[in-house]
Amino acid sequence: MSARLIAVNDRGIRIGEHHQNARLTDAEVDLIRELHEDEGMGYGELAKRFDVGKSTIADICTYRRRAQTIARWVRIQEKCELIDRSDYLDAESLAAHLGYPNRQAMTATHDRLPTPDTVFEGKPLWHKDTATALLEMRSRAIHAAFGGKKEI
């Protein structure tokens, strides 16, 4: 199970993109209103563009829908989605990917391990993309430290 924060109104009901039936994100709702109010785009054109009904667009533009104010944020528990374990690295594999002989050598060099992307069976895991990004950041830091010059 994982936890996340959702917006609720004063009655404790999910609102905006956090509502279980929401088809549009809050950013899309803001864009719809901007395109209608500032650019003069019509309801029909907006409905086609965002793949919703014309009446939905009209309700959004006239603030009959998606106009509630967030009263508070509530932490909810969600079931975790299934992940492909082969896309993730454990601490030892992460250390090897970053060029360290083992996890202890990596933690001795850094104050702490980077925040894991997920936890599986109580073990922290890092996605391979995160490991690649860490490797690129480390490479840039080394490059900057030596002023772009490599030592021979």
What does the domain layout of the chain look like in residue ranges?
Answer: 2-78, 85-145
CB contact set of 17 (below 8 Å; sequence gap of 6+): 24, 25, 26
pLDDT of residue 150: 52
Does the pTM of the predicted model rise above 0.85? Answer: no
Q: Please name the amino acid found at residue 23.
A: R
* Higher-pLDDT residue of 123, 70: 70
The Cα-based distances of 121 to 1, 88, 124, 129 in angstroms read: 11, 13, 8, 21
Task: Provide mean pLDDT across the span 73-91.
Answer: 74
Summarised one tens digit per residue, pLDDT across range 34-44 is 999 999 999 99
